[in-house]
Structure 1
Amino acid sequence: MTEKNTVPTSGSTHPHPMHKVLSFVRRSGRLDARLQRAWSNYAGEYLLDINAGEGSLDVREGFAFDAEYVRGTWGNGNPLIVEIGTGQGENIVAAAEAHPETNFLALEVYDPGVAHTLLLAGKRGLGNLRVAQVNAPELFKVMASGVVAEVWTFFPDPWPKKKHHKRRIVQPALAAEVRRALVGGGAWRIATDIEDYALHVHEVMDGLAGWRNAGDITVSLPTGHVGKGNADLAADMPHADFVESSRFDGRVLTNFEKKGLAAGRVIHDFTYRKI
């Protein structure tokens, strides 16, 4: 694997073409000494060198994420699970440690999250985990068909203001790329603790051809959208029943999820399978 161990700084910029609708705002703060050491020590082993250039979150021209690349990177043909938005890496590191027979790829755009995932992976000596600091939709565009077993998107940025809903990562365009990359019967697992985002997932995914909602429980959700500051209006809106999944056993209870539960929010799990 090509080494990529340059430690990012708070002064770096990451320009993007204006026509792109991004699901994140780059907030790369300065890494503390511990995370800087983690980047220096472990980036060469775990961080994939697939970006278009220093500081870019786009995939370099001509790069192909296919079975040959997977075998060359992980050293085997084991099933691959990709997590979009790894955060601090708690979930995917725990999964990789528990399932050495499976390959894992963590996609994260924020420097501290990348560094913390590198730190956890390095401390555990995981050989089946890699990290990519890249815009997920751009990477899925260059993935070969059937190269991924599952895709995980847990607690994505809710973009709560109604005018920003188009920035939510779960969109028909990404769903099409994810479906193409998945093996037959492969799953896109999604979780959110935001009721309005749960409605958004249903609106995007339930009607898409080529997907099956593999849920096993029924939940009641408002049928109208709310924005930041008026979420309390949802209780008085018309409601309908939607099918969702029981909690995914493969998702560890992270600090983020604990905070959501402590705040009284309900966790919504989804399993959509490629058909």
Structure 2
Amino acid sequence: MRNRKVLSFVRRSGRLDARLQRAWDRYADQYLLPIAEEEGSLTVPEHFALDAAYVRDHWGNDNPLIVEIGSGQGENVVAAAAAHPELNFLAVEVYDPGVAHTMLLAGKQELANLKIAQVNAPELLAAAAEGSLAEVWTFFPDPWPKMKHHKRRIVQPELAADVRKALADGGSWRIATDIEDYALHVHEIMDGRTDFTNAGSLTVSLPVEHVGKGNADMAAAMEHADFAESERFEGRILTNFEKKGLQANRVIHDFTYVTA
């Protein structure tokens, strides 16, 4: 029996405007995978397996599969799917407006290599077969800035173990954040693992203590250490979300962890 995962999100009731509702009605059968345990649920059922047979049934081929955890409005995953028809893509998103907007973008381009899963991502990764994924992307996850909420950050040891199991040999987990404290969190979770190698070639200085909401301005005065991070991933387009971070003078931290 799979353990229920700590949720890295708060379920909000996102109303769809008329345009997004039309997109949902038109494209849901084409893009939205019927994974959830029941209608309105985000739970992955015990019997579900994301494996080669499932990919073949729903994508119609055996092409490598890339999963984006928390695909938001779908800008990045849709652009990637359009640029790489030789690859399969799975967008994992829990919020109705984001799912509908992803459908709208994909439907306009008539993409056949993209599907959407509206389920809890850690449960989906736990259900992925060994070696079934080429890459996993986690771009700008919810930072959960309060110290008491750091356990809700989606990058956790349990998820890392499930991602490693799901990735093929030589596969990559790509992560990006514009929150300095989340960057430190990623290093703490990932850099000491023996099943991943940090492929970064940039040296970045980060405080070695955590800060939370309300005391982030203390970070500059804390002791710092050097960490290895990656160049910006070429396959990640500049989304509106990332633009806002840059406009707020936040530094983008990119990570590439390759299976060892």
Q: Distance in 2 between matches of 1:158 and 1:180?
A: 25
> Which residue of the partner structure matches residue 221 of structure 2?
236
Q: Which residue of the other structure, out of 64, 74, 77, is the alignment partner of 1:79?
A: 64
Q: Deviation digits for residues 169-220 of structure 1, max 9, x if unmatched? A: 0000000000000000100000000000000000000001211000010000
Does the 8 Å contact 1:28/1:112 carry over to 2?
no
Q: Give TM-score, length-normalised by structure 1.
A: 0.92
> Which residue of the partner structure matches residue 121 of structure 1?
106
**RMSD over aligned Cα atoms:** 1.0
Give 2:251's aligned amino acid: V
Q: Distance in 2 between matches of 1:23 and 1:189?
A: 18
Shift of 1:72: 1.2
Shift of 1:61: 3.0
Shift of 1:265: 0.1
| Structure 1 runs not aligned, ≥5 long | 1-18
Q: Distance in 1 between matches of 2:63 and 2:39?
A: 30
Equivalent runs, 1:1-275 vs 2, <5 Å:
20-275=5-260
Does the 8 Å contact 2:5/2:122 carry over to 1?
no
Q: Distance in 2 between matches of 1:136 and 1:20?
A: 9
| Structure 2 runs not aligned, ≥5 long | none
Shift of 1:60: 2.1
Q: Deviation digits for residues 103-151 of structure 1, max 9, x if unmatched? A: 0000000010000001101111000000000000111111100100000
Instruction: Classify the secondary structure of the residue corresponding to 1:247.
Output: coil
Q: Distance in 2 between matches of 1:89 and 1:257?
A: 13
Aligned residues: 258
Instruction: Classify the secondary structure of the residue corresponding to 1:203.
Output: helix
Q: Deviation digits for residues 204-255 of structure 1, max 9, x if unmatched? A: 0000121100001000000000001111100000000000000000000000
Q: Distance in 1 between matches of 2:14 and 2:111?
A: 27
Q: Distance in 1 between matches of 2:44 and 2:182?
A: 28
Instruction: Classify the secondary structure of the residue corresponding to 2:71.
Output: coil
Q: Distance in 2 between matches of 1:91 and 1:103?
A: 14
Instruction: Classify the secondary structure of the residue corresponding to 2:122.
Output: helix
Give 1:87's aligned amino acid: G
Give 1:74's aligned amino acid: W
Q: Distance in 1 between matches of 2:259 and 2:11?
A: 31
Give 1:195's aligned amino acid: E
Shift of 1:28: 2.2
Q: Deviation digits for residues 62-86 of structure 1, max 9, x if unmatched? A: 1111111111111111111000000
Percent pairwise identity: 75
Does the 8 Å contact 1:87/1:113 carry over to 2?
yes
